Amino acid sequence: MDTRTQEFLEYVQDGGQVETGDWMPDEYRSKLVKFIEMHANSELMGVLPERDWILRAPTLQRKLALTAKIQDEVGHAQLIYRVVADLGKPRNACLDDLVSGRAKFHNVFHYPTKTWGDVGVIAWLVDAAAIVSQKALLKCSYAPYARIMKKICWEESFHILHGRDVILALVTGTQEQFELVQEALDRWWEPLMHFHGNQIPPDEDPMFVWRIKSQANEDARQQFLDGYVPQIRELGLEIPDSALRKDEESGRWLYTEPDWEKLRAVVTGHGPASQERLDFRRLSREQVAWVEQVVLAEAA
Amino acid sequence: MIFEVFRRERKGQPFQHAGSIDAPDEHFADVYAREQYGRRQESVALWLVPRNALHEIDDFPDEFDLKYRRVDGYSIKTRLREARDRAGTLESAAGEA
């Protein structure tokens, strides 16, 4: 590593932040693009499981709230793709890589949404897991990304409330509605435990080394469990992991080791809904291509 | 075109940089900015500035020692002590402290 890169590394590890026009090592730039692009892809792909439920939402109020959440997530994708574009990769190049399967998006968006219970679990727990990661990104060494995260975290807080409200309505409803939530939790627990990634030591995680992330994967998972296991259990719901318990001595949660090979397979496009989602994104991109052409022609 | 967006959260507060948007022209920029930064009434005003219209200055050479322009350029402790000593108020000043 040359002196300049070494100094840069020490600067970010010391809490220093970097702006778009500042000099940065190529490796840092490419790691930033990879990480932030995946985030943008996840925001964009993340609306598809929820989109399926706009027409099926149980009341007009729920339909409006769900539509608003979807607009928020697409808005996040727009803001984050802008950050990537300023780092040198235009949005269209990101979308090309996304639909061709070269780029990744988060594991939780590779699964189908079977019932309205899934929609509640996603808005409540998937967004809660996401907000743990996103809050840690407020300290990202790349300042433009950290700044945009403030707005994103603020909007995610509405989503968690929306999800919690959906869940509370169901668990206080009929036995059938309660079971809808329990079944959704059973389906989503494994993806939730995969969500923060494997237990790679932070010093071996390049995203942490460059201080793109400020938190180790396992710390994020522990924070999620700390915050949400009690909230899930107090509703009378059962978490489908008999090994899950908090070790009083260490203060850490113990759980059944998730299948990391499965996570790898899911995020490389082999999840139960991966191809269907990518097909849909490809189709909608083709279908709206004319809009882009008309708008750009008129503006020119 | 890239537009930098500045937002004022409440009346009386300064405009602060919020982010940037990519829009084909000013009309679209207006619509996108309203959606991104105003749809929850989180702003009372927005400024949209084409990025290429910004003039940024980020170098501030300090070759000369201009510390008389800063508070750390003034060390009054020793002189104040001397002045108090001369006026015979050193004792009472110490008592106050």
Distances, alpha carbon B94 to alpha carbons A101, A283, B84, B87, in Å: 76, 82, 10, 14
pLDDT digits (tens, 9 = 90+) for A13-25: 999 999 999 999 9
**A220 within 8 A of A40, measured Cβ to Cβ:** no
Q: Quote the minimal CA–CA distance from B91 to chain A in Å.
A: 47
How does pLDDT run across A42-87, given as a tens digit for each residue?
A: 999 999 999 999 999 999 999 999 999 999 999 999 999 999 999 9
pLDDT digits (tens, 9 = 90+) for A76-106: 999 999 999 999 999 999 999 999 999 999 9
> What domains lie within chain A, and their CATH numbers?
16-299 (1.20.1260.10)
SS3 A248: coil
Per-residue confidence band for B63, with pLDDT thresholds at 50, 70 and 90: confident
Asked if residues A167 and A121 have their Cβ atoms less than 8 Å apart, the reply is yes
Q: Is the pLDDT of residue B96 over 70?
A: no
What is the per-residue burial (b if ≥16 Cβ within 10 Å, else e) of A108-126?
A: bbbbebebbbbbbbbbbbb
Helix (H, G, I), strand (E, B) or coil at B23: coil
Q: What is the pLDDT of residue B45?
A: 98
Q: Which fold has domain B2-53?
A: Ubiquitin-like (UB roll) (3.10.20)
ipTM of the complex: 0.85
CA distances from A92 to A41, A176, A300, B33 (A): 12, 45, 19, 20
**What is the count of residue pairs from A and B with beta carbons less than 8 Å apart?**
32
Measured in angstroms, the CA of A70 and the nearest CA of chain B are apart by 13
Distance, in angstroms, between A48 CA and closest chain B CA?
A: 20
Of B2, B24, B32, the CB nearest to A299: B24
Q: Is A75 near chain B, with CB under 8 Å? A: yes
Q: Locate all alpha helices (DSSP H) within A3-99, ordered by sequence.
A: 3-13, 26-45, 47-51, 60-86, 91-99
State the Cα–Cα distance between residues A235 and A167, nearest whole angstrom: 9
Domains of chain B, by residue range, sit at 2-53, 67-96
Question: B19, A148: Cβ pair inside 8 Å?
Answer: yes
Q: What sign has the CA pseudo-torsion B38, A55, A53, A38?
A: negative
pLDDT tens sequence across A130-169:
999 999 999 999 999 999 999 999 999 889 999 999 999 9
The secondary structure of residue A257, as a DSSP letter, is P
Task: State mean pLDDT over B4-25.
Answer: 96
pLDDT by residue (tens digit) across A183-237? Answer: 999 999 999 999 999 999 999 999 999 999 999 999 999 999 999 999 999 999 9
- Report CB contact under 8 Å: A86, B36: no
